[in-house]
Chains A and B, each alone.
Chain A
């Protein structure tokens, strides 16, 4: 079974803090993704990575950065957390090709106060 794990289920941080969200997958997938999910806005792509050290911006990259030093690990970084970054963050991974499913982690509910 594919497994995508996220470092925290719930996280509370203060405005201005630097926040790291970690994601690890165990299926040797090339592609990894970070989304945020908000009521009424659905899932929106923040960043994705198609290989180690490779990254591309998604629809809403402002205020975020990412790091992929190893194939199995993809980190999302909030450089200076703000209250409008309070959200559910979801990590996903997928092998390249149309025949392969995308798998999601359990999510991290981040609250910035």
Chain B
């Protein structure tokens, strides 16, 4: 069974800090990996997708890296802002239809 672990479960930082969210997955035979954010009571918003052949992807202040062989991915957020406060979910995908989700990291950025 593929398991996805996200550390830390919750994180509170002052505005402006750079931060790293961690994700590990037990089965490294992934198809791709996606990072999402979820605001309370809302759906998931896609942030970045990394294909299994890629090492990293960048979008604005976000950078996601993938180490497939060790079963790890990190999401780096630069210069955090209060609007970044949300739950961040890591989701490795094992084929066209089998996406697994971590429990998420709940981020609070204080003004």
Contact = CB atoms under 8 A, between A and B. Distances in A.
Interface of A: 4, 31, 33, 40, 42-43, 45, 48, 50, 56, 88, 90, 92, 96-107, 109
B5 to A, nearest CB: 11
A101 B46 contact: yes
Given A33-B99, A107-B42, 7 more contacts: A40-B103, A45-B98, A90-B44, A92-B44, A96-B96, A99-B32, A101-B49
Interface of B: 31-32, 34, 36, 41-46, 49, 51-52, 89, 91, 93, 96-99, 101-104
A105 B98 CA distance: 18
Given A31-B97, A98-B31, A99-B51, A105 B46 contact: no
B43 A107 contact: yes
Nearest to B52: A98
Nearest to B44: A104
Nearest to B89: A43
Contacts, number: 54
Contacts of A4: 43
A77 to B, nearest CB: 20
Contact of B51 (A42, A48, A98, A104): A98
Contacts of A43: 89, 101
A11 B31 CA distance: 35
A1 to B, nearest CB: 11
B43 A106 contact: yes
B97 A98 contact: no
Given A102-B34, A104-B44, A104-B45, A50 B51 contact: no
Contacts of B99: 33, 45, 102
6 contacts: A33-B97, A88-B41, A96-B96, A102-B99, A104-B45, A107-B43
Contacts of A88: 41
A42 B46 CA distance: 17
Nearest to A4: B43
